[in-house]
Every structure is written in C-alpha cells, then in structure tokens.
A and B are shown apart, each in its own frame.
Chain A
Amino acid sequence: MLHIVNKSPYQTRNLESCLRLAKAGSAILLIEDGVYAATRDNIAAAGVKAALGSVSVYALSPDVEARGVNNLLLDGVKLVDYGGFVDLVAEHANTQSWL
C-alpha cells in the first residue's frame, strides 16, 4: 500500500496515525507540507527514522525545493518527481491519502 501524507507533522497528527497503521513493506510518500517530516534534527524525525527500517519513505522533490529544505533531508528518504509519484501510485495495489 502507498500512504500519502500532505500535512505538516506539527499541524496535525496525520503522520503519526499513518506511521502507526502502515504495515511493514508499504511505502509512504510525503507531499506538500508533509515534506517537512522528511527533514532531520527535529521532533518529527524520530518517528520517520524508526519507520525507515520497515517502510520506504519518499518525498516529492518539487515540494521539497519550494520549501527550501533540500539540504535538511533525513538520510534514507528518497526524492521523487511528479513522474515518480505516478510510478508509485501505479506500482502499489492501493493508495491511502491521509488528508
């Protein structure tokens, strides 16, 4: 399953819920303000870091660049462009958007 999170981890608890309910082997794609969760040295990083052992975490690069956080990304988070976004959706049997 592909999970998509688009809210800042500081504004809602969507990411926490997603991390709690994402099965091992699933993928999480961070988009829009969700990409802030892909940055390091912050209070959201621990949860994402812990999840990296069992799930793949992706961040949408145009959203990362827009927010100026390219240099602050956590190791292990993979960047994808819009084409990569489409590929992820196509590769997974189903998708859940944590709106």
Chain B
Amino acid sequence: MTESTGGIEVEEETAGRVKKFMFVNRKAPYGTIYALEGLEVVLISAAFDQDVSLAFVDDGVYELVKGQATKGIDVKNFSPTYRALEGYDIEKLYVDAESLKARGLTEENLIVPVEVLSNEEMADLMAAQDVVISF
C-alpha cells in the first residue's frame, strides 16, 4: 500500500481489483463548468468497469433539479444525461439529505431516482471508498 494521494494507483498487487470510486458533485449546474466536467469524467469512468457511485452534496443537488430549460442562456441542458447513467451501469446515486433540505428541495424535485442519505450514512459511504474525486 502507498499513501493515498487521491489519485488512481495501479500497483501490481492491486491491479485488476475493482476499486470503489466516488464522484462528489458540489456545484450548481451552469454557473461554473465543474458540474458538466464532472459528469463527463463519470461517463468516461464507466469504461473502466469499476465500482462507481455519485454523491450530490451542497449546490451539487441543483444538478438534478428537473424542469431545467436552458434555451434562454444558450447553454446545453445536460440534466437529461443523468438519466443515461443507468445505461452506463452507474446506478448508485446518493443525495445528501441536509443539502436538499437547506435548499427547499425534496426527492420529488429531482430528475432521477436517488437514495437520500443522512450525514452519518454519507460519511460512512465516503470513508469506505478507495478513491474520492470531488467537483
């Protein structure tokens, strides 16, 4: 084992083992490029057959709000792409309950089925990952 750098380490003894990757989404969809770039990385990660999960925390929960219509700002609406994740075998989508509540949102406002987690559940899940990548 080496010190975790948050990067992807492929050592001989661990190569081939499926690792647990979590992508943590913490930004609103259009104000910065993070949300879209994060989603692209997630789609690419699907090609490596790893154990991928997505967490939506803080303003990241806004990425999943349904009814987004971006014609007026002339930017691509990428919210439907979250519905494609199932076809990429990425089915573990977790949303932080506290972040939802702080923003006056409920599961009903979201475009995809998710699992809403308490602080403790989210913390446990994060701690159980091999690699956590945050956007």
A residues near B, CB below 8 A?
Answer: 6-8, 10-11, 32-33, 36, 39-43, 45, 61-63, 65-72, 81
Contacts and interface: CB of A to CB of B under 8 A. Distances in A.
B118 interface: no
7 contacts: A10-B58, A10-B103, A32-B30, A32-B31, A33-B28, A62-B72, A63-B30
A36 B28 contact: yes
A55 B70 CA distance: 29
Given A10-B103, A68-B69, 8 more contacts: A6-B31, A11-B58, A42-B103, A42-B104, A63-B72, A67-B28, A70-B67, A72-B104
What 3 A-B pairs come out closest when comparing CB atoms?
A62-B72, A41-B104, A33-B31
B92 to A, nearest CB: 23
B102 A66 contact: no
Contacts of A70: 67
Contact-size category for B: 20 to 34
A6 B30 CA distance: 11
Interface of B: 27-32, 58-59, 62, 65-73, 75, 77, 79, 102-105, 109
B75 A66 contact: yes
A65 B31 contact: no
A92 B20 CA distance: 54
A67 B68 contact: yes
Contact of A40 (B27, B75, B79, B104): B104
